[in-house]
Homo-oligomer: A and B are copies of this chain.
Amino acid sequence: MKLQNDLMLRAAKGEDIERYPVWLMRQAGRILPEYRAVRESVSGFKELVETPELAAEVTIQPVDILGVDAAIIFSDILVVPEAMNVPYQMLEKRGPWFEHTIRSAEQAKRVETNFDVEDRLGYVMEAIRLTVKELNGRVPVIGFAGAPWTIFCYMVEGHGSKTFSEARKILWTDPKLAHQLLQDITDVTIAYLKAQVKAGASMIQVFDSWAGILGTEQYATFALPYLSQIASAISDVPVTLFSKGAITSIPAIAKLDCNTVGLDWNMDIPTVRAQVGNNRTLQGNLDPCTLYGSHQTVETETIKMLNSFGKNKRHIVNLGHGVYPDVDPEKVKTFIKTVKSYEIN
């Protein structure tokens, strides 16, 4: 299907663009009253994720309401461990929780990799197909998955954590088990992302939310090789790697076979540009808390970020983190309007 708005794809590939494309991580869900209405019609977060019609509906909402340049499929990175026989629950106000954790070779026996992703995660692919059909070429659909390191963190720790010290422990006590589990996650993730592309995703983003808790050397050992496999395996659509907090690993990430490197709000655009050169697109990175400011503040800070691009066209505008739940959607509209009216040439 020919896209009417393919700005995102062109920016990712380093082609000419007439203005910077813009979208927001977590744009599907959280901030929109229209989302909350759908969310309240079901029993829980997982029901929404697993019901393709509803997932497609909330995926499209920000395209209609906010005017973003891409839709990102409404789902969760934890559907992958669940498919691997390590299921999760999403506890209200407490976040994800796993009944089984994988901290030993014995526990790792329950991990399954040899299955058809369409069988176990077909609801995601169906949501993508419905979204693509419904959008009818208005904007591209972004598919996504968690990075192996981040999924590993949850499978080992069993819940969120400030330090993920159980997960990091295994890197020292049983690196062989760690590598095996990371490889298993990688294999499933590649199959899953390929299925998303086949279902109609025009771009892929890999979220390494817990990248920042590893030092440079451990990130190079336990994260980059698996990110590399994923980036190289997805060849039909542009790939974005977003390793939150991995400030010292950005040059190494940019060397992987990806199109775009996602930046969090602590990363300085000119510094990163100097490190990675002009062969990669940068995505980000307004501080999400900026959207708590006045409309004037949002506009001023957005322009400051846009100016920091220095007219370089290899940029996709986003926040440096998912939009926070209590942000006023009107402020998001100001952010998007400011980007759209910024003259690039």
- What is the interface residue range for chain A against chain B? 20 to 34
Q: Report B-chain residues with C-beta under 8 Å of the C-beta of A287.
A: 168, 215, 218
* Least distance between A103 CB and chain B CB atoms (Å): 12
Q: Are B268 and A216 in contact (CB under 8 A)?
A: yes
A289 and B248 contact, Cβ closer than 8 Å, known pairs A265-B215, A268-B216: no
Q: A288–B164 Cα gap in the complex (Å)?
A: 12
User: Copy number in this complex?
Assistant: 2
Q: A288–B168 Cα gap in the complex (Å)?
A: 9
A165 and B324 contact, Cβ closer than 8 Å, known pairs A172-B297, A215-B265, A215-B266: yes
The interface centre, meaning the residue of A172, A218, A290, A297 with most chain B CB atoms within 10 A of its CB, is A172
Q: A172–B171 Cα gap in the complex (Å)?
A: 39
Who on chain B is nearest to A213 by CB?
Answer: B266
Who on chain B is nearest to A321 by CB?
Answer: B163
Q: A168-B287, A215-B266 are in contact. List 13 more A-B contacts (CB 8 A).
A: A162-B162, A163-B324, A165-B288, A165-B289, A169-B289, A172-B289, A173-B292, A212-B212, A214-B266, A216-B268, A245-B245, A247-B266, A248-B266
- Of B169, B215, B266, B321, the contact of A216 (CB 8 Å cutoff): B266
- Of B248, B320, B321, B324, the contact of A247 (CB 8 Å cutoff): B248
Q: A127–B55 Cα gap in the complex (Å)?
A: 58
Q: Is A96 in the interface zone, CB < 8 Å from B?
A: no
Contact with B along A240-266 (1 / 0, CB 8 A): 000001011000000000000000011
